[in-house]
A and B are shown apart, each in its own frame.
Chain A
Amino acid sequence: MGIATASQVEPDPIRGEPLVQGGHDFASVTDAVCGVIEAKRPPLIWFISIAISSIMTLVLFAMIVYLFWTGIGVWGVNVPVGWGFAIVNFVFWVGIGHAGTLISAILFLFRQQWRTAINRFAEAMTIFAVICALVFPGIHVGRVWFAWWMFPIPYQQGVWPQFRSPLLWDVFAVGTYFMVSSIFWYMGMIPDLATIRDRATGTTRRFVYGLLSLGWRGSNRQWHRYERAYLLLAALATPLVLSVHSVVSFDFAVSQVPGWHTTILPPYFVAGAIFSGFAMVVFLAVPARQLYGLKSIITMRHIESMNKIMLATGSMVGYAYAIEFFMAWYSGNIYEQFTFQNRAFGEYWWAYWTMASCNVIVPQIYWFKKARRSLVVTMIVAFLINVGMWFERFVIVVTSLSRDFLPSSWGFYWPTWVDILTFAGTFGLFFTLFLLFLRFLPMVAMAELKNVMPAAHPVHHLSGEKEGH
Chain B
Amino acid sequence: MSKPSLFGYLVEFEDVTTILNAAREVRDEGYTKWDTHTPFPIHGMDGAMGMKMSILPWLVFGGGFMGCTLAMLLQWWMNAYDYPYLVSGKPLWSIPAFIPVTFELTILFSAFGAFFGMLALNQLPELYHALFTSERFRRATSDRFFISIEAKDPRFDLEKTRAFLETLGGTAIETVEEDE
Contact = CB atoms under 8 A, between A and B. Distances in A.
B56 A218 contact: no
A172 interface: yes
Nearest to B119: A214
Contacts of A237: 107, 111
Given A163-B101, A225-B118, A211 B16 contact: no
Contact of A218 (B39, B83, B85, B90): B39
Given A198-B140, A451-B40, A468-B51, A210 B79 contact: no
Interface stretch (A142-150, A399-407, A458-466): A458-466
Nearest to B83: A160
Interface string B54-90: 1011001000000000000011001100110101001
Interface string A219-237: 1111111111100110011
Contacts of B44: 458, 461, 467-469
Contact of B107 (A180, A198, A450, A458): A180
B141 A198 contact: yes
Given A30-B142, A217-B131, A224 B54 contact: yes
Given A183-B115, A228-B54, A448 B46 contact: no
B17 interface: yes
Given A159-B83, A163-B101, A220-B35, A194 B141 contact: yes
Interface stretch (B1-9, B121-129, B158-166): B121-129
Contacts of A159: 83
Given A229-B56, A243-B103, A222 B17 contact: no
Interface string B101-119: 1011101101110110111
Contacts of A236: 60, 107, 110-111, 114
Contacts of B105: 172, 176
Given A164-B79, A217-B140, A225-B54, A180 B125 contact: no
A163 B60 contact: no
Residue of B14, B21, B101, B139 contacting most chain A CB atoms (<10 Å):
B101
Interface residues of A, number: 78
Chain B contact-residue range equals 35 or more
Contact of A247 (B20, B24, B100): B100
A175 B87 CA distance: 26
Nearest to B23: A220
B42 interface: yes
A232 B41 CA distance: 16
A379 interface: no
Given A161-B78, A217-B131, 19 more contacts: A2-B14, A158-B82, A164-B79, A164-B97, A169-B101, A173-B100, A180-B108, A191-B40, A195-B39, A198-B140, A214-B125, A218-B141, A219-B35, A219-B37, A220-B23, A220-B51, A229-B114, A457-B16, A465-B47
